[in-house]
Structure 1
Amino acid sequence: MGLAGPPLTVADALALPVLAAGQPRVVTGESRLDRPVRWVHITELTDPASFLKGGELVLTTGMPLPEDATGVRRYVDELADIGAAALVIELVRRYHRPPDALVRACRTRGLPLVTLSKDVNFLEVTQVVHTLILGNQTDAMRRTQRIHEAFTALTLRGAEPEEVVRAAAEMSGHTVVLENLVHQALICEPSGNTVENALTGWEQRSRATPPCDHTDVRGPESWLVAPVEYQGERWGRVAMLLGPPSASGSAAGGDVRDLGAPVAFGPEDVTVLERTAMALTIARLIHPTPWERSAHRSALRDLAERRHRSPEDARARAAALGLPTEDSRFLAVLVTLPAETEDDAAEPETLLARELRTAAVPALVGALAPGRLGILLALRPAMPWRPPVERLSRTALDHDPRAVVSVGSEVTDLSDAARSFREAARVAEATLPGQQLPEGRSFHELSDIGLRRLLYALREDIRIQDYAERQLGRLIDHDARHGTDLLTTLRHYLDAAGNKTIAARRGGLSRETVYQRLRAIERLLECDLESGEQCTELHVALTALDVLRGH
């Protein structure tokens, strides 16, 4: 629920017992009864507008009304021009029905005209309404104070832009969006809405909402917008949305100024948005990470971890960041770097994003974790994925030869990007330090994962460690106690696929010595080296041992 309390309206005032006792009847302006009442004014003057400031509920017995139609029109015009909320006339003393000239004039100017058929104590009406108004004003001051205190606290503790936008949405009860100068939605905090409703077609809708130099309601959807800038340099703007977009509204680019329309945003909403813009300015000054980079990082993490509420929300958010989501294929790429913090990734992150822009390949680029960059490529239907990935890999390796670039598989739906990221992560986890790359390729892919790389990925699994020890532990212990090298002989034999002659040559041993050692191995391990299955088990265990020892 937002902080803004509803103002007292003409309809609210007429429903009060003190006025309801006069049996009010709305003669004109039925659709305007939601106008806010800012004060009550009792008048018996022919020119009451000179004492008004706008928003008043004007009470009269009708005694001062001119006799002629021209004078009545002038009287109503003055009230309408000053912005009076409504005219209430008592039909007890001078009139018993409203004059036709008055009805016509009020209807022409859209001024609500209300008649009272019974006597009402106008002073009592004034006291009751003013008490309510002043009470509302006091509450509004308290709410405004809470807004200022909340944003001051956010600023003092150095809140991130996401926290600021989230606080604005919670305080106002409206969806709040931060966008950059090219109308990309960087942060969206929905309230009573979905990301899909808030961001679908964002750039087109945003461009239809004209810029402004101060907080104002703009555009066909009546957004409340405020610029975010510092010392004359504009960085973007923050927008507060009424709700899901609809086909209704004024022409694109026009301001909504229909006085008969419901009040979209209250004063507290304006205060919230102004403080939001100020807090975002300070956040940008104190946090080194650019908004766009933070937005890409957040979107990538949500996609990689399936944190979006729905596939539609994911597509709307990605599209609002400039990533094509229709008729595209998607591919996840991970760049693993010897970095300790996300800030260490800032330079390669910038380099890779620039390389993709140069190649005209739409993508999201951002740090997923310390030492790991994530990239999601959006590829046109006929565009092969290997050339842009090769280009990315070369750039990453030129920056740091220790970088490891891994690739998942293509997906056709953005909501399946998590699978591509998981596959790329599996490839990265299965890549040993200094892993040899296939000739003519600078990145690793799923097809590269063989037995050794699979075991390397699972090296921290206690079951792998236990398996290697159960299969080979007795042989290793024997070599350690007796100074023998039976484990090496077993390795040569298995690598030679059971060919004893090749094993003898590789070990620099005679065939008879190899036979003796193999019999000793069979005895110690209680196995049959003529069994293909048992040899496979030993070969897996030996490979796991090498991986665990870092060979």
Structure 2
Amino acid sequence: MSENQRRAPVPEGRPLTVADVLALPVLAGGDPRVVTGRDHTDRPVRWVHITELTDPASFLKGGELVLTTGMPLPDDPAGVRRYVDELADVGAAALVIELVRRYHRPPDALVQACRSRGLPLVTLAKDVNFLEVTQVVHTLILGSQADAMRRTQRVHEAFTALTLRGAGPEDVVRAAAEMSGHTVVLENLVHRAMVCEPSGSTTEAALTDWERRSRATPPADHTGLRGPEGWLVAPVEYQGEGWGRVAMLPGPYDSAASPVFGPEDVTVLERTAMALTIARLTHPTPWERTAHRNALRDLVEQRHRSPADACARVAALGLPTEHTRFVAALVDVPAAADTARIEVRLAEELSATGAPALVGLLGPSRLGVLLALRPSRPWRQTVERLSRTALGPAPGATVCAGSPATDLADVARSFREAARVAEATGPEQPLPPDRSFHERSDIGLRRLLFALRDDTRVQEYAERQLGRLLDHDARHGTGLLTTLRGYLDAAGNKTVAARAIGVSRETVYQRLRTIERLLGRDLESGEQRTELHVALQALDALRGR
């Protein structure tokens, strides 16, 4: 047997089909022609059976490619129909008849019977060695089965390794998508997509209109095909109760009318569901919280492939994305606070008030919140409620909000604003009289310099402007810096400055002359007074005042 005769034009992992067998050199030499059932040549071939019996079906189990010279075929049309019916009933893959000995064209009765039953009928115009056909095909089938067993073993080993190292749901779903080449989605009982790993498509294509599509896909207590799109689904449990399910989606060019998932895909999904069930028991953080955290981080860091992907993902988590105004808020809690408990409390409070939101940890002591509000809803009232909810269990918390964004593509900007407000807000920063959170309009010169306190340019400016004065006070125990501060705070009014620092007006005059000499500045100049005032503000920020 030549190497060409052994070689199968079959992709790895797919069963041998009728079309594959007909393309083999050992059969192609017989000039095969598909007379009926061309649409069914994708049927898998389980075995090859040579027969010259009038009732071959009694020796078949289904999936066989039946080879015959046509010698035993009945002469009467009724007998031919019975012969074909028995083959079709047992599930034969195809009937191959050689037109060399008895027939030189297929009998009309045979063609009609095969066509009516949808059985592929293939004619061979030239003599073919049937024994060699069986040897080649059986070798390929057995080799494919051995390969399939090895691949299945690799699947089991991969998921066992994931379970042993405590992999989370994202790792498990990603592995399933990589092994199967299909998009895999994990959802909970209320049809929120917790994890989506696209393969061959985009997040947008996988998750658009997710809840409606998922609800059209009936639940199941075992792995199987479900719904109008032909999803392969498997249940995921938690402590013996249903928690949700994992779904493997057909590819963008697959048809729900034809099978697109093989036995290996079923194995992958079953092991995925098992690994997720175990992971659900070993990971204390609810997966809904993990999904919110990951979605928020991706929005903040703009890690989505496109704005459409971002919209599809947050919508699949239950957040409205159309006719919506988004507001980003950051909650910085004291180091000793229970951030996980505050995270859950915020999520529950917002849900109870009908404010759709993503809530999740962005850092060890920082919570991120993305509010999705109707444009007519006052956003500051919602942020105020959010802030008071956070301040309850964590009195020292600081809440900062960015300005509203009209779409998800602008959410990262809102989070950046909130982060800049937080940078400019010290731990003891007083709140405005009418609210319990900070926003961009609160940031004046003092808070701006506080945010920039680690910038070496600010540090160098303060030192260059005030260094000589600070050195003089340190060496001589004088209070020139205090005098300068009082004078500048009094907007250059020496009488007011003297009263504020508790010295005589003449003493203020004397000290101001000394300050001008040390610094080489003219304190009568409004511009120079402004420069020194900024330097004092920067010095206060550097000293944490």
Category of TM-score, reference length = shorter chain: over 0.9
Does residue 57 of structure 2 align to residue 57 of structure 1? no
Partner of 2:191: 183
Q: 1:4 deviation in Å?
A: 5.4
1:511 aligns to 2:519 (yes or no): no
Whole-Å Cα distance in 2 between the matches of residues 273 and 4 of structure 1? 18
Which of 258, 263, 268 is residue 267 of structure 1 equivalent to?
Answer: 263
Whole-Å separation in 1 of the counterparts to 2:283 and 2:301: 25
1:99 maps to what in 2? Answer: 107
User: Is 1:168 aligned to 2:176, yes or no?
Assistant: yes
Q: Quote the residue 1:488 is aligned against.
A: 482
- Amino acid aligned to 2:175: A
- Whole-Å Cα distance in 2 between the matches of residues 230 and 324 of structure 1? 28
The sequence identity of aligned pairs, in percent, is 79
Aligned equivalent of 1:211: 219
| TM-score normalised by structure 1 residue count | 0.94
In structure 2, do the counterparts of structure 1 residues 397 and 464 end up closer, same or farther at CA, with 3 Å as the change threshold? same
Residue 279 of structure 1 corresponds to which residue in structure 2? 275
Please, which of 424, 440, 452 is the counterpart of residue 430 of structure 1?
A: 424
Distance 1:229 1:105 in 2: 49
Check conservation: 1:37, 1:85, Cα contact below 8 A: yes
Mark the CA change 1:207 to 1:486 in structure 2 (over 3 Å): closer, same or farther: same
SS of corresponding position for 2:395:
coil
The size of the alignment, in residue pairs, is 535
1:393 maps to 2:390? no
1:329 aligns with 2:325: yes
User: Deviation at 1:231?
Assistant: 5.3
CA contact (8 A) 1:169 1:175 kept: yes
| CA distance in structure 2 between the aligned counterparts of 1:468 and 1:231, rounded to whole angstroms | 62
> What is residue 253 of structure 1 aligned with on the other side?
none
| 1:193 counterpart residue number | 201
Q: What secondary structure, in the 3-state scheme, does the structure 2 residue paired with 1:88 have? A: strand
Matched, 1:374 2:382: no
What is the alpha-carbon root mean square deviation over aligned residues? Answer: 1.6
Could you tell me how far apart the structure 2 residues matched to 1:339 and 1:163 are?
A: 30
The question of whether the paired residues in 2 share the 8 Å contact of 1:9 and 1:34 is answered with yes
Label 1:4 to 1:396 Cα distance change in 2 as closer, same or farther (>3 A): farther
Equivalent in the alignment of 2:459: 465
Q: Secondary structure at the match of 2:427?
A: coil
Structure 1 residue 119, shift from structure 2 partner? 2.0
1:317 to partner: Cα distance: 0.6
Residues 297-326 of structure 1: per-residue CA shift (max 9 Å, x gap):
111011111111111111111111111011
CA offset at residue 340 of structure 1?
7.2
What corresponds to 2:405 in structure 1? 411
Partner in structure 1 of residue 530 of structure 2: 536
1:4–1:266 CA contact under 8 A, matched in 2: no
Check the 8 A contact 2:238/2:281 in 1, yes or no.
no
SS at match of 2:199: coil
Distance in 2, matches of 1:16 and 1:376, equals 60
Higher deviation after alignment, 417-426 or 4-13: 4-13
Q: How does 1:215-254 map to 2 (within 5 A)?
A: 215-230=223-238, 232-244=240-252
Q: Give me the whole-angstrom Cα distance separating, in 2, the residues matched to 1:396 and 1:437.
A: 15
Partner of 2:345: 351
Unaligned 5+ segments in structure 1 are: 250-255
Work out whether 1:363 is the aligned partner of 2:357.
Answer: yes
CA shift for structure 1 position 18: 1.5
- Which of 146, 152, 160 pairs up with 1:138? 146
Distance 2:529 2:252 in 1: 66
**Which residue among 312, 317, 322 is the counterpart of 1:316?**
312
Aligned match of 1:27: 35
Moved more, 485-494 or 276-285: 276-285
Equivalent AA in structure 2 for residue 522 of structure 1: E
CA distance in structure 2 between the aligned counterparts of 1:168 and 1:463, rounded to whole angstroms: 51
* Distance across 1 between alignment mates of 2:242 and 2:204: 27
Quote the Cα distance in structure 2 between the aligned partners of 1:65 and 1:489.
119
Larger mean CA deviation between 35-44 and 421-430 belongs to 35-44
TM-score (structure 2 length as normaliser): 0.95
Contact in 2 for aligned 1:198/1:244 (Cα 8 Å): no
Any conservation in 1 of the 2:315–2:321 contact (CA below 8 Å)? yes
Residue in structure 2 matching 1:303, options 288, 293, 299? 299
Change (3 A) 1:14 1:244: closer
Distance 2:240 2:77 in 1: 54
| Post-superposition CA distance 1:243-296 (Å, at most 9, x none) | 2389xx7xxxxxx6x5xx3x3012111111111111111111111111111111
What SS does the corresponding residue of 2:221 show, helix, strand or coil?
Answer: coil
Letter in 2 for 1:490: L
Residue of 150, 156, 180 corresponding to 2:158:
150
CA contact (8 A) 1:338 1:403 kept: yes
Q: Distance in 1 between matches of 2:339 and 2:12?
A: 42
Aligned residue type for 1:175:
T
Matched, 1:86 2:80: no
Q: CA deviation at 1:224?
A: 1.3
The SS at the match of 2:392 is: helix
Amino acid at match of 1:199: L
Q: Select between 270-279 and 514-523 the one with higher mean Cα deviation.
A: 270-279
Over 3 Å counting, the alpha-carbon distance change for 1:275 and 1:14 in structure 2 is same
**Partner Cα separation in structure 2 for residue 321 and residue 394 of structure 1:** 25
